[in-house]
Amino acid sequence: MSESPGLSVTAAVVAVIGALTAATIWGQVAAHESAGLLALDIACGVVACALLPALLRWPVPGALALAALAALSAAATPAATMATLFVAQRRSFRVAAAVGGAGVLAHAVRGLWRPIGSLPFTWWLVLVVVAEAALIGWGQLSRARGALLESLRERARRAEDEQARRVAEARAGERARIAREMHDVLAHRLSLLATYAGALEYRPDAPPEKLARAAGVVRAGVHQALEELRDVISVLRADEITDGQHPQPGLADLDRLVEESRDAGTPVDVVERISRPEDLPGTVGRTVYRVVQEGLTNARKHAPGQPVRALLDGRPGDEMLVELTNPVAAAGSAINGTGTGTGLIGLTERVRLAGGQLDHAVGPDGEFLLRARLPWPA
């Protein structure tokens, strides 16, 4: 329940309590009370109604002040009763019980010095205790219900925040995946284009038919790079083939990948020892393809013309091993600079997400080794 009711609610409560107070005073007039006691009742009733708005800011002190007025006059009883309920709705049971006890004590005092002729004091006190207990119970129940509703609203807000956080994480993960796919696809394709473009630059005296062939390869490569970029974006949200989309490359596309590198001047020797390659899971096959693609791309960039040896070994129930080695080129011979290393970083993350492990290092024999181990479930 709100700590600060609206102005219209407060006015309505004061009006109702004022009407009950006026009825109580009229009852005292009908009982032929003395002029002094009647003046006291009127004064206590007016002061009690005036104190009601103070309950909004000072509930407990206001309730105790109204209880004190109730000890003097029955005209303050409606306001004191309302105060007990108000405190019970907004404070703990201990505080509400203390205020209710003060109300019982105040009415007991008034019952002693202004007894009700038609009702014995004992029954009067029993009725007061029952009434105060009922008010406290009602107020505490209302408070518990309000707390429950607030907790449910808080849980709903937290659930919405959690859902928003998950959506944000999913979007961030999707952006990272897009970045890795774009690097894998475009770095490989552009490294091929750089190789052919370098041939055009350094061999301008080549026969016209060779120049035309190299220029045609560059043009076709640019077109294919754009197509592959479009394909990557279209299939990022689905690993399987759907209408109007192309599948992501896998183990079956390795031959084409190797032939492209050989055509670009990189000798590639592939040794396959894969048992039942048709049983290799699609996600593992795609990761194998990306590992080989990254290895060939790095070899072309950092050791142009150097031979690359690729080993593919695996069987169901064990693991899939992908290993590429190539000699490290002499300083200054790389055609595309030293690179940023982001390709290997992204590839490491890709292999890790597939449950595998990626290692890369330059061995003592001067060869660069790229090795990936991927789980192959039975």
Block means of pLDDT (10 residues each) for the chain, 378 residues, are 56 73 70 72 84 86 88 84 88 90 88 78 86 89 89 89 78 66 68 70 71 72 69 53 57 90 87 90 90 89 88 93 88 51 76 89 88 92
- Work out the burial of residue 66: count CB atoms within 10 Å of its CB; fewer than 13 is exposed, 13-18 middle, 19 or more buried: buried
Look at residue 234 in the predicted model and tell me its pLDDT. 59
Strand, helix or coil for residue 203: coil
- pLDDT score, position 364: 84
Distance CA 371, CA 311 (A): 9
Alpha carbon distance 241, 243 (integer Å):
7
Residue (of 208, 300, 289) closest to 262 by Cα position:
300
Domain ranges within the chain, ordered by starting residue:
7-159, 250-378
**250-378: CATH architecture:** 2-Layer Sandwich (3.30)
Helices (H), strands (E): how many in the chain? 10, 5
How much is the pLDDT for 242?
Answer: 43
Q: How many CB atoms lie within 10 A of CB 185?
A: 21
Helix (H) or strand (E) holding 238: none
- Give the per-residue pLDDT at 226: 72
Q: How confident is the model at residue 238, as a pLDDT? A: 47
Give the predicted TM-score (pTM) of the model: 0.46
Consecutive H or E run containing 270: strand 268-274
Using DSSP's 3-state secondary structure scheme, residue 92 falls into coil
Long-range contacts of 227-233 (CB under 8 A, 24+ apart): 228/185, 228/186, 228/189, 229/182, 229/185, 229/186, 232/178, 232/181, 232/182, 232/185, 233/178
SS3 34: coil
Q: Report yes or no: 370 and 294 within 8 Å, Cβ to Cβ.
A: yes
Residue with tokens 């119970």: 137
